[in-house]
Structure 1
Amino acid sequence: MNPWNKEEKLEHPQDEERIGAYWERRFVAEGLIWSDVPSQTAQDASHWFQQEGLRTLLVPGAGYGRNTRFFSSSYKVDAIELSPSAAKLGEAFDPKTTFYVGSAFDPIIGGRDRYDAIYCYDLLHLFREADRKRLLQSLIGRLRGGGILYLTVFSNEDPHCGKGDLLEPGTYLYKPDKFAHFYEQEELLRLVPGWNVLETRSWREPFPPEDGRQREYTIRSLAARKPSGEFQLPAAGQ
């Protein structure tokens, strides 16, 4: 039995419930929201994974697998997705990846204890500070020593940064019922103290078109190698 209990482990469990309900509604109504084209960051991440000779990959917050399908021809991929409808879409869209319905905060969900690499796309910034730390702790615990963490987050250079109510430093309620944290470059680097940072980049990512208009948003990416010895971030709140 999985002993993980989000009400005990998360500072704001209602945030994950809200996010899950939002995306469940959208995937039910819209299906493959982001088309079948992977993020440009997936190719960049694969460059680092291939260079290191990595084989096993964990993708938290995988949606319907538009990025996992890019990876699954080259790696053994496990995907975690909160939305049951998205995971069901993913099983058809990317049958080579194994989808697990559940929370990325859960430290034991998935097919193995440790992975060679983790690709965390546009997930971390959806939470407040204490739970961002908890999520990162959980993911780092799933990565073997010497493995590669590749993550993307909203950038403070995105036009939405600074819009709406300020919930925490750098975190804004930029749309009704929708908030995010916007990372500066220095803050991104502080996520993995003592790691070998391979690369940081800024990207313009496309939104699904709206009323025939092309839209973009700005993200940052980080590729970093975990130290070979055991590594753990300070506990949330420290």
Structure 2
Amino acid sequence: MSSDADRDGDARPGPGRAQRDHWERTYGAHPGMYGDEPSAPAVRAAEVFLALGARNVLELGAGHGRDALFFARSGLTVTAADFSPAGLDQLGARATADGLSDRVTTAVVDVRDPLPFADASVDAVFAHMLLCMALSTEEIHSLVAEVRRVLRPGGTFVYTVRHTGDAHYGAGTGHGDDIWEHGGFAVHFFSRALVDALVEGWTLDEVIAFEEGDLPRRLWRVTQTRR
């Protein structure tokens, strides 16, 4: 399954197309750039998903797959979606090498488009720093509505975002709408008001602050359940 709407051109405003090309080059130049260990949010999300009896998970922004492969090793069936074929090729090769190809499916998806998955078809959705990429506020709202559509009632969505308390907020090149580009990577920094605005039709379970990396990046891990 893939979304090919903008492969041959993208007239939409904003830095999204440039960012897609930037990530494709980055994954191509630095295979496995985030290493093999899962992210801390993925470890926590797996605990939540398994405790709720989830069997399958959709990961948005899966990249080269460190978290998707962790979910598969934990016993979940995973659909790993990303807009970078290079990252997904690395993920697929690793899944095959690790004997996990029966649990992992990859899909080239641009989350600015409707998700190419059926209504109420997944138990859980995970997105680590995907929502805070170069997406407008309108696109973020549309994406969360799509996540709600593909989740089964009672399904859980765990996502992480860099927020406006991060050291890079306001630094670099501003694109408007709280999007700032630093070192070639554009980030939409979330306010708490935006987090709260995204829970219509959901139950907000928790918002947890944490730090990651050397800067460190300051993030929220948000867990919400479809009503």
TM-score, with structure 2 as normaliser: 0.84
Give the Å deviation of 1:146.
0.8
**In 2 relative to 1, CA 111–132 (structure 1 residues): closer, same or farther, beyond 3 Å?**
closer
CA distance in 1 between counterparts of 2:203 and 2:113 reads: 26
**In 2 relative to 1, CA 150–2 (structure 1 residues): closer, same or farther, beyond 3 Å?**
closer
| Percent pairwise identity | 25
1:233 corresponding residue in structure 2: none
Give the Å deviation of 1:15.
3.4
CA distance in 2 between counterparts of 1:157 and 1:201 reads: 14
Gaps of 5+ in 1: 207-213, 228-238
Is residue 2:160 matched to residue 1:163? Answer: no
**In 2 relative to 1, CA 223–53 (structure 1 residues): closer, same or farther, beyond 3 Å?**
same
Identify which of 138, 146, 159 aligns with 1:151. Answer: 159
**In 2 relative to 1, CA 104–191 (structure 1 residues): closer, same or farther, beyond 3 Å?**
same
CA distance in 2 between counterparts of 1:11 and 1:183 reads: 25
**Secondary structure at 1:31 match in 2:** coil
Identify which of 184, 189, 211 aligns with 2:191. Answer: 184
| Aligned 8 A contact 2:120 2:153 in 1 | no
| Aligned 8 A contact 1:107 1:141 in 2 | no
1:230 corresponding residue in structure 2: none
**In 2 relative to 1, CA 218–94 (structure 1 residues): closer, same or farther, beyond 3 Å?**
farther
* 1:27-67 C-alpha deviation (Å, 9 max, x unpaired): 11110111111110011111211221111100111001011
CA distance in 2 between counterparts of 1:81 and 1:193 reads: 26
CA distance in 1 between counterparts of 2:11 and 2:225 reads: 28
**In 2 relative to 1, CA 114–15 (structure 1 residues): closer, same or farther, beyond 3 Å?**
farther
When the two chains are superposed, the root-mean-square deviation of aligned CA atoms in Å is: 2.7
Identify which of 89, 114, 124 aligns with 1:117. Answer: 124
User: For this pair of structures, how many residues does the alignment match?
Assistant: 217
| Aligned 8 A contact 1:78 1:110 in 2 | no
Give the Å deviation of 1:3.
9.0
1:226 corresponding residue in structure 2: 226
Give the Å deviation of 1:83.
1.1
Give the Å deviation of 1:185.
2.8
Give the Å deviation of 1:135.
2.0
